[in-house]
Amino acid sequence: MKSNYDKTPVIRIDGYEQDCIGGWSEIRAYLTEKLRQTSSGCKVVIECYQGLHEEELIENFEKLEGYHFLNISFAYKDPEEVARLVYPEITDDRIFGKLTKLSILDYFDEGRLASLQETINNWSGESLIIFGTGASAIAGSFDLLLYADMARWEIQQRMRANQVNNLGVENKRDEFSLKYKQAFFVDWRICDRIKIDLLHKIDYLLDTNIPGQPKMVTGKALRSGLDRIAQRPFRVVPFFDPGPWGGQWMKEVCDLDRSVQNFAWCFDCVPEENSLLMAFGDETVEIPSLDLLFHRPGEILGNDLYEVLGPEFPIRFDFLDTMDGGNLSLQVHPTVSYIREQFGMTYTQDESYYLLDAEDDAEVYLGLREDIDPKQMIDELKTAQEGGSSFVASRHVQTWKVKKHDHVLIPAGTVHCSGKNSMVLEISATPYIFTFKLWDWGRLGLDGKPRPINIGHGEKVIDWSRTRTWTEKNLVNQFELIAKGDGWKEEKTGLHELEFIETRRHWFEKIVRHHTNGLVNVLNLVEGREVIVESPSGAFEPFVVHYAETFIVPACVGDYTIRPYGESTGKTCGTIKAFVRMDKLRAIGDDLWMIHPNGRPE
């Protein structure tokens, strides 16, 4: 059957068709005319996110007539000094670090900064463009503010291609994992703090995702668009990536390039990584989906959730495709206390596997055997990692046969992995990269190098009491009928009481009523070709969702309904919905906000 999965969900913002322009010559002409209308000697700030092709921006903005161009990067500390500055957060680990509390001002050399600010403060004559990451922090007052933005997935592609440096250093040819780690723990935290302060007042946003094809939208149109999106269901832009264990299912269901060896991952709802597509007239602008969260956090998350977490999206939906592929790495996630102490994160990656599809031989490694000997298991893992005999996972880890629509729960501390010939919708909390790999089946990554193994971290967080009996009672297919009505029923499918996310599955042939109850909802259509999401009061336009698509319903939406639509009319459809259990999240600790990288909301 032909795929109807939408890989590029565009949200049209009507009424601002003239507020977005594309192309460098058009942007320069527009700004030249705009700036001609200002007084002489005006200051223009161009604030930049990490990962831009700065040379392209500099080349084009230097062409603006009547302006002196000032690149502030000369006032940074020397790259070697910046490397020393961030080392406590970066550490020597290949994967893990600590979330930084540094600000952009920490990157400036004291003497150079003083000279730079004296130049800016005493500037006279032609107008001045102040350019670079941190330009808004040191410019003082200014007449026009332009923000050059980037989607994180594109930044990662540029890192892989050795095209961009981390903030303040010269390292574009370093290993990708090291550059990504520095961006994740340091660069993006610093840039996000700047962005949060500026979103409400930028005059223009510059979309720099496609080299040579910039888009510029007015701040007014951008904010109006974000305001509208925050009041309705929406999808973020999924991205797909191959991997050493990847499969073939997504190629067909999501209509992906058949010539690619495999697709292992799809981030279908990971707002920290995904982007939004907003159409203004004939131009489409791509921005990080975090921009929406930063702009309207209370409306998206719900005020109670925002009060606890700050502007952080806590629910993650992604795909793990092992159809005609291989096993995922055997792994475990850190406990709350461990992730706080070691990495400065606020909560951990509790998760679950929902089986969108499975072959007859599909299985999941989950929990430990009843006869587990912890020392023997760790010794065998270390021996295998050092090149000795291969680790036989089934001697130590329990396996479970799984089928389509099964749901297995994976609280932190539980050893687990999905086996081959499964299509997993992973539903989890969102601390992103904190997976401790214990065994990777002796294979190499797609780059031909061994993938990092974290037995040292992993052995400190494994809960050895989670053997077969406990796992079967607590984690495998914990379905409970909650309610039913005319043409529908609702089931609780998880997660475990140790986890702060709850999931509900609805089967329906007719309309089903939902309510956000003041908290963000994330849903995926797990059965059926298409459904339609509607507002009983007409508060938002009807929203069509196709099979396997994930969508977000902001907390402020309140009432909404879902019913079969189009080809699915009169047929049974199924959704799985995730939301936060506030009682459990609060129980994790009232001090969460104290270590949040963006601080507690005001």
Query: DSSP readout, 171-223?
Result: -TTS-HHHHHHHIIIIIHHHHHHHHHHHTTT-SEEEE-SSTT--EEEEHHHHH
Q: The domain containing residue 278 runs over which residues?
A: 240-475
CA atoms in the 13 A half-sphere facing the CB of 353:
30
Q: Give the integer Cα–Cα distance in Å for 307 and 555.
A: 14
Do 304 and 248 share a structural domain? Answer: yes
- Predicted confidence at residue 589, as pLDDT, reads 54
Determine what percent of the chain is predicted with pLDDT higher than 70. 97
Phi-psi region at 162: left, alpha or beta (left = phi > 0; alpha = psi -120 to 50): left
Q: Residue 21: is its pLDDT beyond 70? A: yes
Which domain CATH number covers 581? 2.60.120.10
- Predicted confidence at residue 587, as pLDDT, reads 77
- Predicted confidence at residue 599, as pLDDT, reads 43
Q: Would residue 233 count as lying in a domain?
A: no
Do 248 and 289 share a structural domain? Answer: yes
Give per-residue pLDDT as tens, 214-223. 999 999 999 9
Lowest mean pLDDT among 116-130, 224-238, 398-412: 116-130
Of residues 237, 530, 522, 584, the one with CA closest to residue 354: 522
Do 302 and 338 share a structural domain? Answer: yes
The confidence band for 591, taking pLDDT boundaries of 50, 70 and 90, is very low
Do 459 and 486 share a structural domain? Answer: no
The confidence band for 496, taking pLDDT boundaries of 50, 70 and 90, is confident
- Predicted confidence at residue 431, as pLDDT, reads 62
**Which of the two residues, 39 and 489, has the higher pLDDT score?**
489
Do 487 and 397 share a structural domain? Answer: no
Structural domain tally of the chain?
A: 3
Q: Would residue 161 count as lying in a domain?
A: yes
- Provide the mean pLDDT of the chain: 93
Which whole number is the average pLDDT over 101-117? 97
- Predicted confidence at residue 497, as pLDDT, reads 83
- Predicted confidence at residue 432, as pLDDT, reads 62
Q: Would residue 601 count as lying in a domain?
A: no
Which whole number is the average pLDDT over 172-179? 93
Q: Would residue 98 count as lying in a domain?
A: yes
Give per-residue pLDDT as tens, 49-106. 999 999 999 999 999 888 899 999 999 999 999 999 999 999 988 788 888 999 999 9
Q: How many residues does the chain have?
A: 602
- Predicted confidence at residue 442, as pLDDT, reads 87
Which domain CATH number covers 132? 3.40.50.300
DSSP helix/strand/coil, 168 = coil
In the listed set 195, 213, 231, which residue is the last one of a domain according to the structure?
213
Give per-residue pLDDT as tens, 422-459. 999 999 987 667 789 999 998 877 777 777 889 999 99
Q: Residue 597: is its pLDDT beyond 80? A: no
Q: Would residue 595 count as lying in a domain?
A: no
Q: Would residue 200 count as lying in a domain?
A: yes
Do 426 and 327 share a structural domain? Answer: yes
Q: Residue 39: is its pLDDT beyond 60? A: yes
Which whole number is the average pLDDT over 335-341? 85
Ordered strands of the 480-485 beta sheet: 480-485, 488-494, 501-508, 573-580, 521-527, 550-553
**Is 294 within 8 Å of 287 (Cβ atoms)?**
no
Which whole number is the average pLDDT over 592-600? 42
Of residues 279, 280, 312, 231, the one with CA closest to residue 552: 231
Lowest mean pLDDT among 373-377, 411-415, 443-447: 443-447
- Predicted confidence at residue 94, as pLDDT, reads 79
Amino acid identity, residue 596? H
The confidence band for 602, taking pLDDT boundaries of 50, 70 and 90, is very low
Do 468 and 497 share a structural domain? Answer: no
State the DSSP H helix or E strand holding residue 113, giving kind and residue range, or none if neither.
Answer: helix 110-121
Phi-psi region at 202: left, alpha or beta (left = phi > 0; alpha = psi -120 to 50): beta
Do 423 and 391 share a structural domain? Answer: yes
Q: Would residue 593 count as lying in a domain?
A: no
Q: Residue 600: is its pLDDT beyond 50? A: no
Q: Would residue 192 count as lying in a domain?
A: yes
In the listed set 460, 475, 490, which residue is the last one of a domain according to the structure?
475
Lowest mean pLDDT among 87-101, 266-280, 293-307, 356-370: 87-101
CA distances 509 to 51, 504, 537, 539, 543, Å, are: 47, 17, 22, 24, 18
Please, which residues have CB within 8 angstroms of residue 456's CB and are 6 or more apart in sequence?
A: none
Do 195 and 80 share a structural domain? Answer: yes
Does the pTM surpass 0.85? The reply is yes
Give the end-to-end CA distance of the chain in Å, rounded to a whole number: 50
Which whole number is the average pLDDT over 12-34? 95
- Predicted confidence at residue 335, as pLDDT, reads 87
- Between the CA atoms of 316, 320, 431 and 315, what dihedral angle is there, to the nearest 10 degrees? 10
Do 462 and 346 share a structural domain? Answer: yes
Do 419 and 273 share a structural domain? Answer: yes
Burial letters for 528-557: b for 16+ Cβ neighbours within 10 Å, e otherwise?
A: bbbbbbbbeeeebeebebbbbbbbbbbbbb
- Predicted confidence at residue 126, as pLDDT, reads 80
Give per-residue pLDDT as tens, 544-567. 999 999 999 999 999 999 999 999
Do 84 and 203 share a structural domain? Answer: yes
In the listed set 213, 230, 261, which residue is the last one of a domain according to the structure?
213
Q: Residue 596: is its pLDDT beyond 60? A: no
